[in-house]
Structures are given as structure tokens and as C-alpha cells.
Amino acid sequence: MPIDPAKLRIEMYPTKVLRTKGKEVEINEETRAVAGRMVELMREAEGIGLAAPQVGLSWRLFVCHVPVHEDDPVDAEIPCSSEEFQVFFNPEIVEFSKDMEGYDEGCLSLPDLTGEVRRPTTVLMRALDFDGNPVELRATGLMARCWQHEIDHLDGIMILDKMTQMARLKNRALIKSFKNMAKG
Ligand code: NI
């Protein structure tokens, strides 16, 4: 049965699909319509990224929009934001920088939780864009972080698994309640 994009909603942890590895998708009318709906849901929720498992689909697809900010470095070789939203099908990070950075991340499927996650600063990603063209793109800063966070979702990985020891400690009550929900 074809998916009705209008019926898609953001799923909350601990729903099982968030822990399921996504499958590669074909780019067609249906998957494009889903991507469009995901952009809408991301905007409504005021998020900067949304992955297909977060709308209940085990697909390798995510959308992202880290808007350009006045503090962004001017004429930077590697972008940390984008003018427009981005859609990526079957994405894969093919290069990670050695330098890592910590930053407080949140997730639309984990309400109220934020905590430091350390990640490589700069990445090179291969994917198919909205039109199905292969792209190879580099990003740094918040956009690189967003891509990594969303691709983690496609592998069933969540910030719960990657937060620093300190962040876990700070959020222990909330994490415990999430884990209990996952069991129950
Ligand atoms: Ni997330």
C-alpha cells in the first residue's frame, strides 16, 4: 500500500523503528513525497534535521536545514550551513576528520533531552539528492554534526548511545525514564 505522506508524524522514542537499521530506497514519486513531508514536519517542530525512521519508515533518507547564520565564517571553503533545506537518499559518510568537537545535541524523538556528543568536526558525504543525482559534499560545524546525527538514525543509533559520561550523569533521571519506557 502506498504511503500517505499527510499521515506521517514524528515518532517518539522508544518506538521500535528508531532502533531498526534503514534500507536503501529508490527515488520515485512516493519517496520524494515522503521527503517533502519530512521537510514540513522538521519545520513545524523547529528542528534542523529529520531522518526517515523518525517518521516510522526504515528507509535511508534524511532531510536537514541548518540555516545560514550571521556568525558563519565568510567565504569558508567548507560550509557549515545552507541557504535551502537539503534532502539526501542513501547517504554515507566516506571521510571523517580526525579532530573532534563536543556540542549539546537534542533530538525530536527524545523530548527534553539535550547532552554533549563528541563528533568529528568535518565530514565528506556521498548520497543521492532529491533529483537522484549522486553528490559528494563536505560539511563542517553544525551541518556536519547534523548529517552525522541523522545518518546515525538510519542505523538505529541515537544520542542516548553517544552522549558523554558527564551528559549522561546530568540527565540520568530523564535517561532512566526513557529506558524504562523502552522496557515497558
Ligand atoms: Ni535525532
CATH number at residue 154: 3.90.45.10
Q: What is the pLDDT of residues 92-145, one digit of tens each?
A: 999 999 999 999 999 999 999 999 999 999 999 999 999 999 999 999 999 999
> Is residue 53 a part of any domain in this protein?
yes
> Is residue 127 a part of any domain in this protein?
yes
pLDDT at 1: 66
Does residue 36 carry a pLDDT above 90?
yes
User: How remote is the CA of residue 134 from the centroid of ligand 1, in Å?
Assistant: 24
- Omega before residue 14 within 30° of 0, cis: yes
pLDDT band at 183 (very low <50, low <70, confident <90, very high): confident
Asked if residue 147 lies in contact with residue 120, where contact means CB atoms within 8 angstroms, the answer is no
> Is residue 165 a part of any domain in this protein?
no
The overall average pLDDT reported for the chain is: 96
> Is residue 49 a part of any domain in this protein?
yes
Please, what's the largest Cα pairwise distance for the chain? 51
Residue 76 corresponds to which amino acid? Answer: A
Domain that holds residue 152: 5-101+119-158
pLDDT at 2: 85
Mean pLDDT across 147-163? 97
User: What is the secondary structure of 23-82 as a DSSP string?
Assistant: BP---SHHHHHHHHHHHHHHHHTT-SEEEGGGGT--BSEEEE--B--TTSPTT-SS-SSB
Q: pTM surpassing 0.75?
A: yes
Count of structural domains within the chain: 1
pLDDT at 74: 83
User: How remote is the CA of residue 157 from the centroid of ligand 1, in Å?
Assistant: 9
Say whether 84 is catalytic: no
User: How remote is the CA of residue 153 from the centroid of ligand 1, in Å?
Assistant: 7
User: How remote is the CA of residue 173 from the centroid of ligand 1, in Å?
Assistant: 20
> Is residue 182 a part of any domain in this protein?
no
Which residue out of 24, 40, 83, 150 is catalytically annotated? 150
> Is residue 114 a part of any domain in this protein?
no
pLDDT at 109: 97
User: How remote is the CA of residue 3 from the centroid of ligand 1, in Å?
Assistant: 22
Does residue 184 carry a pLDDT above 80?
no
pLDDT at 182: 81
User: How remote is the CA of residue 30 from the centroid of ligand 1, in Å?
Assistant: 23
Q: What percent of the chain is predicted at pLDDT more than 70?
A: 99
